[in-house]
Amino acid sequence: MLHVTLNEKESIAILEPQGALSKDDFLLAAEVIDPFIEQGGKLEGIIVYVQDFPGWNSFKALLKHLEFIKEHHKKVAHIAFVTDSFVGELAEHIGSHFVNAEVKNFPFDALEEAKRWIKDDSKKV
């Protein structure tokens, strides 16, 4: 299950995986995020907030995740991984080669720092 919170004022979506991710989780994320992007043109940031990355419940879920990234990476300015999982570090080092968004990893207890990074960095543009 994926819990999706959209803060429209700050233009930040927080994605909180709670167990292995399913194909439907990415459909839900798109249902929440896409109308906001259609109105404003982009999202300042997505925060993936999970202590340990739970993985996917199927290969179809992984493919849907990759499709979600393909459809959204040009419409999101920043992606913050707030996690103690190695996935955050991996995403920061490899993600910049595959997505337009700036990617940064933060420890799990640094959610507010990640939000500040997105807000402060978005003011530079």
**CATH code of 75's domain:** 3.40.50
Distance, CA of 120 to CA of 89 (rounded, Å): 21
What pLDDT score was predicted for residue 121? 67
Contact 51, 108 (CB under 8 A): yes
Distance, CA of 79 to CA of 104 (rounded, Å): 6
Six-digit token pair at 4? 């999706």
What pLDDT score was predicted for residue 94? 77
What pLDDT score was predicted for residue 88? 82
Six-digit token pair at 82? 């707030």
Q: Catalogue the E-assigned strands of the chain.
A: 2-7, 12-17, 43-49, 76-82, 102-106
Contact 121, 102 (CB under 8 A): yes
Which residue range is the domain that position 100 belongs to?
2-122
Q: Which residues pair with 14 in a beta bridge?
A: 5, 47
Number of domains in the chain: 1
Q: Over its length of 125 residues, how does the chain's per-residue pLDDT go in tens digits?
A: 999 999 999 999 999 999 999 999 999 999 999 999 999 888 999 999 999 999 899 999 989 888 888 887 788 999 999 999 988 887 777 766 677 788 899 999 999 999 999 998 656 55
Distance, CA of 113 to CA of 50 (rounded, Å): 15
Q: For strand 2-7 and strand 12-17, is the pairing parallel, antiparallel, or unpaired?
A: antiparallel
The pTM of this model reads: 0.89
CB atoms within 10 A of CB 5: 12
